[in-house]
Structure 1
Amino acid sequence: MDAAGRLPIVLASVLVLLGSSQYYTADAESRHVFLDWEVSYAIRSPLGVAKKVITINGRLPGPLLNLTTNDVAHVNVANTLDEPFLLTWNGLQMRRNSWNDGVAGTNCAIPPGENWTYVFQVKDEVGSFFYRPSLGLHAAAGGHGPIRVNNRPVIAVPFAPPDGDLDVLIGDWYNMDVKEMRRRLDGGRGLPSPDGILINGLGPYAADFTFKPGGTHRLRVSNVGTRTSLSFRIQGHKLLLVEAEGAYTAQKQYASLDVHPGQSLSVLVTAADKPKPSYYMVVSSLFVEPELFGVANVIYAEGAGAGAGPPRTGDAHAPLEDASSHNGYARSMEQARSVRMNLTCGAARPNPQGSFRYGRINVTRTLLLRNDEAMVGGRRRCTLNGVSFADAATPLKLADHFDVAGVFAVVSGRPPAAGTTRQKQPSLGAAVVDARYRDFVQIVFENRLPSLQTWHLDGYSFFVAGMGWGKWSPDARSSYNLVDAIYRSTVQVYPAAWTAVLVSLDNEGMWNLRSQCLDRRYLGQEIYVRVRQQGSSVSEVPDPRDELPMPSNALLCGKAKAFKLRRT
């Protein structure tokens, strides 16, 4: 689609977004940022095998979404694919605005040949995140890009301004076409091991990162891959962890850092004063065989560090100790527990991050979410508390708004009792957990499977209070970190283990809680959490201070088409 062909669509989008943005005030604290993104196919061969990939404005990774706290983003997405498409904003809290979350439960997909404008504010948050497609394994073909939310100038950052700020998107890669990946999963077969690891969309030794001798550089690292946990390191350099998904961390040096599917973090790397002839950025797979490696070149600004061919045996390709064994999981959990929040600095606001004393708040409810696999309707599916999620033709948010019955089922958020019919017979369904606005909730993820899982909650960050082996019990709370647990939106759950998080439900809306392993989510490992005022009904118009009204440019599909004129 050429620029002239898109012009009427773009103008229409500008007109309708005026109504969408009426609740955002442009002032010294909030500017409006307007972007036009075209989603299209391209043929790329990062591992030497041609594959149809998804690009944003012809790029993979796509353009940087660079914002500052309180900015309002207007992102017009033109879909030139032959399939419906959505983008989701991994880690952004989308305050009061699940209407723009970009998942099938909240948004109708953008049809082929059409466009839609996302409008959202990055309210009271900072940090490193990424965007990616959310439908039908599209994310396994690319379509991702980095997001930065910068501090306002009046808020101090807990480290000196770096000499460079670099986005590093890492992930496993399949040469297999996405449609073939779907056919395998739909036919009951799992995906094979990935074919390799990409760094910024490029294969081995193709990506370059320039360092200034003696300078300090911030690297914003995100795992945008399909399902593989990765180890990130730079030869001859230490990694000082300073931020994870919007929270500044207690600063600690690491030789390498685990980055699980869907996670983001920032490290400071101090460059050598007298660099050696070559250094390599190395990304290696964890917990899978055979071990895979992605390698990029670290080039010094004065030319002293240009890559000089493959690293020596035992150098870049040296595996992490016990990386594929149970001891490797134990090492990884120990590292995860060492990541703490910096209690002395501010983030989006000047008050210290530790001023919210989460450990002193009474938990009002516990959700226990147990993932598993089962045969459902003759097909292998992934389940959560005995239900395998199946997308409805009508987005759940629209069904809730228009009071359309039969689209989703409200569930308890607890596994079915042993011996009950539902416990014996897993089922398909669109499951929603009802939750009260401003409750303080404990969510326990219990993983009964032999592979690591990662979980992400849209609209929120949570305190990662505890991790342990075996089954969770209420007694585990005695082992929780209730002082300086890291505050993030994506967390890993190790095999035959549990992870507990604490979250303040202060963001009304319909929010997606999903596996960040794309194949597991495709097979049903997700759920939605509906957060609303106690005693409220769908007939009540929400207070815009708590939840924004339905945007004037909202797409309508499924059973919601019948309500075209009733948007408020």
Structure 2
Amino acid sequence: MPLSKLAALLFTTATLVALFAAIAEAENPYRFFEWNVTYAHRDLLGAHQQVILINGQFPGPDIEAVTNDNLIINVYNSLDEPFLLSWNGIQNRRNSYVDGVYGTTCPIPPGKNYTYILQVKDQIGSFYYFPSLAFHKAAGGFGGFRILSRPLIPVPFPDPAGDFTVLIGDWYARNHTDLRAILDRGHKLPFPDGILINGRGPNATTFTFEQGKTYRLRVSNVGLQNSLNFRIQGHKLKLVEVEGTHTLQNTYSSFDLHPGQSSSFLVTADQPPQDYFFVVSTRFTNPVITTTGIVHYSNSNQGPSGPIPGGPTIQIDWSLNQARSIRTNLTASGPRPNPQGSYHYGMINTTRTIRLANSAGQVNGKQRYAVNSVSFVPADTPLKLADYFNIPGVYKVNSISAAPTGGGIYLDTSVLQTDYRTFIEIVFENNEDILQSWHLDGYAFFVVGMDGGQWTPASRNQYNLRDGVFRSTVQVYPFSWSAIYIPLDNVGMWNLRSEFWARQYLGQQLYLKVFTTSTSLRDEYPIPKNALLCGKAAGRRTRPFGFYRH
């Protein structure tokens, strides 16, 4: 980046930080990031294709923070089209304006920059960031995002000898623009061409272990559509954390990660000194795609031997039972020293039940995907900006039903309003023969139940009301349901979406508007002073008083 441009960016960042520091919650450290987003060409899976780099890296650099840190991330868009970054699992307390999806945030124009100001308030754990616009996720632009516990807050396992980010995902050996054109023409995507581990193909990724030591692997499925199983030849995986929640430390020989999900494992190098296969394969597909990396013992002079260890095949029950075994560690601390189990969610009465069913079909001869029969179409203005400026005609509140309608698919900008400080139940109903994966921005939720068949009120009899895992992404098995409980404690406009990225792109998403009449800063931060304005909000002026309008 030219020195003049870099100097301008540094000045912009310094100015924003000075403003923010005067009014943000005090005494929490600041961490600064300067990122340049560019295209480059890489040889992946036998094809020469265009990928998205951040600071020349694919995948992008890790973000490492500590609970309550303030993050100042200045992103310069050197692509030839608008660009947005979103933060998968980061809750952006009281500030959906910087969520990084088009319903809340204007994209960064080509040749321009934007400074995201986030606080990882009361969070720990393993997450990732990714580009949310224009099917850019199929080109990269993603990276790991880890939040460490504050000093003196106990963690329920000894410090590992090393801490690895492991980004796994299915991949196409063609440019994202070609894939986007297929979807825009109203067609389904073909089957992926392979799987990448940290942006590399078979046997190109190596993790080095010292014999006898224990390592932490933070594994995220950043792919476009497939559930993935991973395993390490001859080694056990001890699950310790899922998307910010310490879990019961169950041990697995292999583990399923569904699209959008992140988990942490401890692996001990307790085998004879040689190299071992790190294996990732697709689940519930025919054919099965498999790729490998290498776990290298530092005192080894022998490569991996023997057959690649096989994983589960098509079995859904195996995966369902594994999912049910993931429980919260009620004796562990979270971001604060009080036990995670102090939140007795099973003793709180829910005030509302929302049922959401996914479906697929044709609209005007083109492939679309829907939730409760509504296939989401983006408005010409981010919904959150329309709220701030009171711009009419951008969207209608409750433009989607809170229960399946059974009708045909139609197009709308679907927004479902809910009340702040209520405790609700959402049931995801999957009547299709694919596994579905759902993510809610700005929130984590309690996974209280999942099973095959149709959900009924009697299904609540089997809910886990004691130690269900608290996370932000949940899978729904074919012809099955999953139920979650959510304390609506984060005001804003939040994206609820399929993590199957072609389905999200073609309408399988909505926005959950968590509403209050309060104008207190304790409830929601107003629009940032540096907010990008576009659509019908272009050219308008935010109110003066720093970052806040009150």
TM-score band (shorter)? over 0.9
Separation in 1 of the partners of 2:391 and 2:57? 40
Question: Cα offset for 1:6?
Answer: 3.6
Alignment-derived partner of residue 508 in structure 2: 525
Alignment-derived partner of residue 353 in structure 1: 340
Note the alpha carbon deviations across 1:456-484, whole angstroms, 9 max, x for none.
00110000101011221111100100010
Letter of the aligned partner of 2:521 in structure 1?
A: P
Alignment-derived partner of residue 93 in structure 2: 95
Letter of the aligned partner of 1:476 in structure 2?
A: S
Letter of the aligned partner of 2:37 in structure 1?
A: V
Distance of aligned partners of 1:242 and 1:523 in 2 relative to their CA distance in 1, 3 Å threshold? same
Q: Tell me, yes or no, if structure 1 residue 228 matches structure 2 residue 226.
A: yes
Separation in 1 of the partners of 2:491 and 2:541? 24
CA contact (8 A) 1:507 1:546 kept: yes
Q: Tell me, yes or no, if structure 1 residue 415 matches structure 2 residue 411.
A: no
Alignment-derived partner of residue 198 in structure 1: 196
Letter of the aligned partner of 1:153 in structure 2?
A: P
Gaps of at least 5 residues in structure 1 are none
Question: Cα offset for 1:14?
Answer: 2.8
Separation in 2 of the partners of 1:4 and 1:24? 30
Separation in 2 of the partners of 1:10 and 1:413? 46
Letter of the aligned partner of 2:288 in structure 1?
A: E
Alignment-derived partner of residue 25 in structure 1: 25
Task: State which of 357, 362, 365 in structure 1 corresponds to 2:349.
Answer: 362
Alignment-derived partner of residue 129 in structure 1: 127
Question: Cα offset for 1:19?
Answer: 2.9
Separation in 2 of the partners of 1:400 and 1:270? 51
Task: State which of 527, 543, 555 in structure 1 corresponds to 2:532.
Answer: 555
Separation in 2 of the partners of 1:377 and 1:316? 47
Q: Compute the TM-score of the two structures, normalised by the length of structure 1.
A: 0.93
Task: State which of 420, 444, 449 in structure 2 corresponds to 1:461.
Answer: 444
Separation in 2 of the partners of 1:293 and 1:466? 30
Separation in 2 of the partners of 1:256 and 1:303? 24
Gaps of at least 5 residues in structure 2 are none
Deviation above 4 Å: which 4+ runs of structure 1? none
Distance of aligned partners of 1:486 and 1:113 in 2 relative to their CA distance in 1, 3 Å threshold? same
Q: Compute the TM-score of the two structures, normalised by the length of structure 2.
A: 0.96
Alignment-derived partner of residue 162 in structure 1: 160
Q: Which moved more, 1:2-11 or 1:427-436?
A: 2-11
Note the alpha carbon deviations across 1:220-271, whole angstroms, 9 max, x for none.
0000111110001100100000000000001110000000011000000011
Alignment-derived partner of residue 279 in structure 2: 282
Separation in 2 of the partners of 1:51 and 1:289? 26
Q: Tell me, yes or no, if structure 1 residue 298 matches structure 2 residue 295.
A: yes
SS of structure 2 residue aligned to 1:8: helix
Question: Cα offset for 1:414?
Answer: 2.0
Matches within 5 A, 1:423-438: 423-424=407-408, 426-438=409-421
Note the alpha carbon deviations across 1:191-211, whole angstroms, 9 max, x for none.
111111111101101111011
Separation in 1 of the partners of 2:498 and 2:535? 25
Letter of the aligned partner of 2:7 in structure 1?
A: L
Separation in 1 of the partners of 2:15 and 2:66? 25
CA contact (8 A) 1:284 1:294 kept: yes
Note the alpha carbon deviations across 1:295-340, whole angstroms, 9 max, x for none.
1111112235x535xx54xx2163x34x23xxx1111111100111
Separation in 1 of the partners of 2:21 and 2:532? 16
Distance of aligned partners of 1:413 and 1:93 in 2 relative to their CA distance in 1, 3 Å threshold? farther
Alignment-derived partner of residue 7 in structure 1: 7
Letter of the aligned partner of 1:11 in structure 2?
A: F
CA contact (8 A) 1:20 1:551 kept: no
Note the alpha carbon deviations across 1:269-293, whole angstroms, 9 max, x for none.
0112532x32111111111121111
Alignment-derived partner of residue 145 in structure 1: 143
Separation in 2 of the partners of 1:212 and 1:522? 43
Alignment-derived partner of residue 546 in structure 1: 523
Matches within 5 A, 1:219-258: 219-258=217-256
Distance of aligned partners of 1:565 and 1:360 in 2 relative to their CA distance in 1, 3 Å threshold? closer
Distance of aligned partners of 1:163 and 1:317 in 2 relative to their CA distance in 1, 3 Å threshold? closer
Separation in 2 of the partners of 1:119 and 1:144? 18
CA contact (8 A) 1:75 1:118 kept: yes
Note the alpha carbon deviations across 1:58-92, whole angstroms, 9 max, x for none.
00111110000010000000000011001001011
Task: State which of 308, 315, 329 in structure 2 corresponds to 1:316.
Answer: 308
Separation in 1 of the partners of 2:13 and 2:448? 43
Matches within 5 A, 1:481-500: 481-500=464-483
Alignment-derived partner of residue 116 in structure 1: 114
SS of structure 1 residue aligned to 2:538: helix
Matches within 5 A, 1:210-225: 210-225=208-223
CA contact (8 A) 1:64 1:146 kept: yes
SS of structure 2 residue aligned to 1:296: strand
Question: Cα offset for 1:401?
Answer: 1.1
SS of structure 1 residue aligned to 2:317: helix
Separation in 2 of the partners of 1:20 and 1:560? 23
Separation in 2 of the partners of 1:104 and 1:17? 24
Question: Cα offset for 1:21?
Answer: 4.7
Alignment-derived partner of residue 369 in structure 2: 382
Question: Cα offset for 1:524?
Answer: 0.6
Note the alpha carbon deviations across 1:342-379, whole angstroms, 9 max, x for none.
00111101111111000000000111111101222331
Separation in 2 of the partners of 1:565 and 1:341? 43
Q: Tell me, yes or no, if structure 1 residue 343 matches structure 2 residue 327.
A: no
Size of the alignment, in residue pairs? 544
Separation in 2 of the partners of 1:9 and 1:278? 45
Letter of the aligned partner of 2:383 in structure 1?
A: L
Question: Cα offset for 1:485?
Answer: 0.4
Separation in 2 of the partners of 1:13 and 1:288? 46
Separation in 2 of the partners of 1:433 and 1:338? 32
Distance of aligned partners of 1:48 and 1:205 in 2 relative to their CA distance in 1, 3 Å threshold? same
Separation in 2 of the partners of 1:509 and 1:21? 23
SS of structure 2 residue aligned to 1:563: coil
Task: State which of 421, 440, 444 in structure 1 corresponds to 2:427.
Answer: 444
Letter of the aligned partner of 1:14 in structure 2?
A: A
Q: Tell me, yes or no, if structure 1 residue 476 matches structure 2 residue 466.
A: no
Separation in 2 of the partners of 1:216 and 1:427? 52
Separation in 1 of the partners of 2:369 and 2:513? 22
Separation in 2 of the partners of 1:21 and 1:97? 16
Alignment-derived partner of residue 391 in structure 2: 404
Distance of aligned partners of 1:22 and 1:519 in 2 relative to their CA distance in 1, 3 Å threshold? farther
Task: State which of 179, 182, 188 in structure 1 corresponds to 2:180.
Answer: 182
Question: Cα offset for 1:5?
Answer: 2.8
Task: State which of 510, 516, 520 in structure 1 corresponds to 2:493.
Answer: 510
CA contact (8 A) 1:24 1:72 kept: no
Separation in 2 of the partners of 1:416 and 1:166? 42
CA contact (8 A) 1:229 1:261 kept: yes
Matches within 5 A, 1:316-335: 316=308, 318=310, 320-321=311-312, 323-324=313-314, 328-335=315-322
Aligned Cα root-mean-square deviation (Å): 1.5
Separation in 1 of the partners of 2:227 and 2:498? 13
Question: Cα offset for 1:403?
Answer: 1.2
SS of structure 2 residue aligned to 1:410: coil
Letter of the aligned partner of 1:356 in structure 2?
A: Y
Task: State which of 27, 36, 39 in structure 1 corresponds to 2:37.
Answer: 39
Question: Cα offset for 1:559?
Answer: 0.7
Separation in 2 of the partners of 1:446 and 1:25? 40
Alignment-derived partner of residue 49 in structure 1: 47
Alignment-derived partner of residue 307 in structure 1: 303
Letter of the aligned partner of 1:530 in structure 2?
A: K
Separation in 2 of the partners of 1:152 and 1:98? 25
Question: Cα offset for 1:429?
Answer: 1.4
CA contact (8 A) 1:9 1:114 kept: no
Alignment-derived partner of residue 80 in structure 1: 78
Separation in 1 of the partners of 2:309 and 2:327? 30
